[in-house]
Chain A
Amino acid sequence: MASAPSKLYADDVSLLVVLLDTNPFFWSSFSLPFSKFLSHVLSFLNSILLLNQFNQVVVIATGCNSCDYIYDSSSATSTDAESGRMPALCSDLLRKLDEFVTRDQHLGEKDSLGPPTSSLLSGSLSMALCYIQKVFRSGPLHPQPRILCLQGSTDGPEQYVAIMNAIFSAQRSMVPIDSCFMGSNNSAFLQQASYITGGVYQKPQQLDGLFQYLSTVFATDLHSRTFLRLPKSVGVDFRASCFCHKRTIDMGYICSVCLSIFCKHHKKCSTCGSAFGQPQSDVPSASNVK
Chain B
Amino acid sequence: MNNGDGKRWNGGGEEDEDEDEESGGPDGWQITYADERSWESLQEDESGLLRPIDNKILYHAQYRRRIRSLSSQATTARIQKGLIRYLFVIIDFSRAAGETDFRPSRMVVVAKLVEAFIREFFDQNPLSQLGLVSVKDGVAQCLTELGGSPESHVKALMGKLECSGESSLQNALDLVHGHLKQIPSYGHREVLVLYSALSTCDPGDIMETIQKCKKSKIRCSVIGLSAELFICKHLCQETGGSYSVALDEPHLKELILEHAPPPPAIAEFAIANLLKMGFPQRAAESSIAICSCHKEAKVGGGYTCPRCKARVCELPTECRVCGLTLISSPHLARSYHHLFPVVPFDEVPLSFLNDAHNRSPRSCFGCQQSLLNPGNKPGLRVKCPKCKQHFCLDCDIYIHESLHNCPGCESFRHSKSAIASEE
* B394–A65 touching, CB < 8 Å: no
Return the chain B residue nearest A72 by Cβ: B368
* B405–A122 touching, CB < 8 Å: yes
* A133–B336 touching, CB < 8 Å: no
Q: Please give the distance in Å from B340's CB to the nearest CB on chain A.
A: 6
Q: Quick one: given A130-B367, A134-B394, A166-B405, are A116 and B277 in contact (CB under 8 Å)? A: no
Return the chain B residue nearest A167 by Cβ: B330
A165: chain B residues at CB < 8 Å are 333, 336-337, 403-405
Taking CB atoms and an 8 Å cut-off, the chain A residues in 107-140 that contact chain B are 107-108, 110-111, 113, 116, 120, 122-124, 126-127, 129-131, 133-134, 137
For A124, give its contact among B268, B337, B411 (CB under 8 Å).
Answer: B411
* A252–B279 touching, CB < 8 Å: yes
For B403, give its contact among A120, A129, A269, A278 (CB under 8 Å).
Answer: A129
* B285–A232 touching, CB < 8 Å: yes
For B282, give its contact among A238, A253, A258, A280 (CB under 8 Å).
Answer: A238
Counting CB contacts under 8 A, is B80 at the interface?
yes
Counting CB contacts under 8 A, is B241 at the interface?
no
Taking CB atoms and an 8 Å cut-off, the chain A residues in 87-117 that contact chain B are 107-108, 110-111, 113, 116
Query: Considering only CB atoms and an 8 Å cut-off, how many residues of chain A contact the other chain?
Result: 79
B3: chain A residues at CB < 8 Å are none
Q: Please give the distance in Å from A219's CB to the nearest CB on chain B.
A: 24
Counting CB contacts under 8 A, is A47 at the interface?
no
Q: Please give the distance in Å from A153's CB to the nearest CB on chain B.
A: 13
For A275, give its contact among B83, B272, B410, B416 (CB under 8 Å).
Answer: B272
A238: chain B residues at CB < 8 Å are 279-282, 328-330
Counting CB contacts under 8 A, is B182 at the interface?
no
* A65–B414 touching, CB < 8 Å: yes
Counting CB contacts under 8 A, is A234 at the interface?
yes
For A251, give its contact among B127, B270, B274, B279 (CB under 8 Å).
Answer: B279
* B416–A158 touching, CB < 8 Å: yes
* A250–B423 touching, CB < 8 Å: no
A258: chain B residues at CB < 8 Å are 80, 83, 339
* A69–B368 touching, CB < 8 Å: yes
Return the chain B residue nearest A158 by Cβ: B416
* B332–A261 touching, CB < 8 Å: yes
Q: Quick one: given A111-B414, A250-B306, A278-B271, are A256 and B186 in contact (CB under 8 Å)? A: yes
Instruction: Map CB proximity to B onto A67-96 as digits: 1 under 8 Å, 0 otherwise.
Output: 111001000000000000000000000000
* B330–A131 touching, CB < 8 Å: no
Q: Quick one: given A169-B404, A280-B268, are A259 and B412 in contact (CB under 8 Å)? A: no
For B83, give its contact among A172, A253, A259 (CB under 8 Å).
Answer: A259
Taking A66-B412, A107-B413, A122-B405 as known contacts, 19 extra A-B pairs with beta carbons closer than 8 A to each other, sorted by chain A number, are: A66-B413, A67-B411, A120-B413, A123-B407, A130-B398, A161-B333, A164-B330, A165-B404, A166-B403, A196-B330, A234-B284, A239-B281, A249-B279, A254-B332, A256-B275, A257-B270, A259-B332, A269-B272, A287-B423
- Across the A-B interface, give the 5 residue pairs with the lowest CB-CB distance, nearest first: A123-B411, A130-B366, A274-B272, A256-B186, A164-B333
Between-chain CB contacts (< 8 Å), 28 pairs: A65-B412, A65-B414, A68-B411, A107-B412, A123-B410, A126-B407, A127-B407, A130-B395, A130-B399, A130-B407, A134-B369, A165-B404, A166-B403, A192-B330, A234-B284, A236-B282, A249-B279, A250-B279, A251-B276, A251-B277, A252-B276, A252-B277, A257-B270, A258-B83, A259-B83, A272-B80, A287-B423, A288-B339
